[in-house]
Chains A and B, each alone.
Chain A
Amino acid sequence: MNDIHIKGVHEAYFVPTVNFEVATGKCEIEGESYLEETTKFYAPLLAWIREYIDTVKGPLYFDFKLSYFNTSSSKCLVDILDMLKNYQKKGGEVTVNWYYDDSDEELEEIEDFIMETGLQINKIPLE
Chain B
Amino acid sequence: MEKRDDKYDFSLYEYHNLLHQNILVSYKGPIDERIMTVIGENIEIVTNDGNDKARTKIFKIFMELAQNVWLYSAESCKTISGKQLGMGTLVIGEFGNYYTFVTGNVVKNTDIEPVIEKCEIINSLDRDSLREYRREQRRLANQGKPNSGNIGLIQVALTAESPLDIELTPVSDEESFFSIAVKIKKTNCK
Binding site for B on A (CB under 8 A): 11-13, 34, 36, 68, 70-71, 74-75, 78-79, 82, 103, 105, 108, 112, 115-116
Contacts and interface: CB of A to CB of B under 8 A. Distances in A.
B37 A11 contact: yes
Given A68-B56, A71-B155, A75-B151, 4 more contacts: A75-B138, A78-B139, A103-B56, A112-B135
25 contacts: A11-B37, A12-B33, A36-B33, A68-B56, A68-B60, A70-B67, A70-B152, A71-B64, A71-B152, A71-B155, A74-B138, A74-B151, A75-B138, A75-B142, A78-B138, A78-B142, A82-B142, A103-B53, A105-B57, A105-B159, A108-B131, A108-B158, A112-B134, A116-B138, A116-B139
Contacts of B150: 71
A99 to B, nearest CB: 16
Contacts, number: 46
B52 to A, nearest CB: 9
Contact of A12 (B34, B64, B142, B152): B34
Given A12-B34, A12-B37, A112-B135, A70 B159 contact: no
Is chain A's interface secondary structure helix, strand, loop, or mixed overall? Answer: helix
Interface residues of B, number: 25
Name the 10 nearest CB pairs between A and B, nearest first.
Answer: A12-B33, A116-B135, A71-B151, A12-B37, A71-B155, A71-B152, A112-B135, A112-B131, A70-B63, A75-B142
